[in-house]
Amino acid sequence: MYNIDYKELGNRIRAERRKQDFTQEKLAEMADISNSFMGHIERGGRTLSIETLAKLANALNLSIEYIVCGEFNYQPDMLPGEILEALKQMSGNQRRVFLSIMKTLAAHPETWPV
């Protein structure tokens, strides 16, 4: 059985929020939770519902797995290692831009240089 370390979970949320230059208030607004609850989550003082966890993950563009476990666990055949390592170094906004570029490339392979 896996025990969730809410203090570490909160630390990961806080670190990513700061990395993306969000205030606690802004992230709370994006996740539709109170400022006070956001502070409790970041300090590890409260548990949170799956719904709230999903809202925070979406707002920060992170996987729920990363928020809960602290790691990405992609299968090698799903994503090459070099891309995974690059993604780990990106902010949420950079990952969103990267994904947008990848989707555009996938939709228009005829534009790729050969």
pLDDT band at 41, cuts 50/70/90?
very high
23 in a domain, yes or no? yes
Q: Show the domain range for 55.
A: 6-69
28 in a domain, yes or no? yes
pLDDT band at 17, cuts 50/70/90?
very high
16 in a domain, yes or no? yes
Residues whose CB is less than 8 angstroms from the CB of residue 14 and which lie 6 or more positions away in sequence, other chains included: 42
The CATH number assigned to the domain holding 24 equals 1.10.260.40
The predicted-structure confidence for 53-100, as pLDDT tens digits, reads as follows 999 998 998 888 889 888 755 445 555 667 777 888 889 888 888 888
* Residues 61, 38 within the same domain: yes
75 in a domain, yes or no? no
97 in a domain, yes or no? yes
Minimum mean pLDDT range among 6-15, 18-27, 47-56, 82-91: 82-91
- Predicted local confidence at residue 74, as pLDDT: 46
Q: What are phi and psi of 76, to 5 degrees?
A: -55, -35
Helices marked H in the chain — which ranges? 6-19, 24-31, 35-43, 50-60, 64-69, 81-89, 92-107
13 in a domain, yes or no? yes
Whether the CB-CB separation of 99 and 83 falls below 8 Å is answered with no
Whether the CB-CB separation of 48 and 41 falls below 8 Å is answered with yes
107 in a domain, yes or no? yes
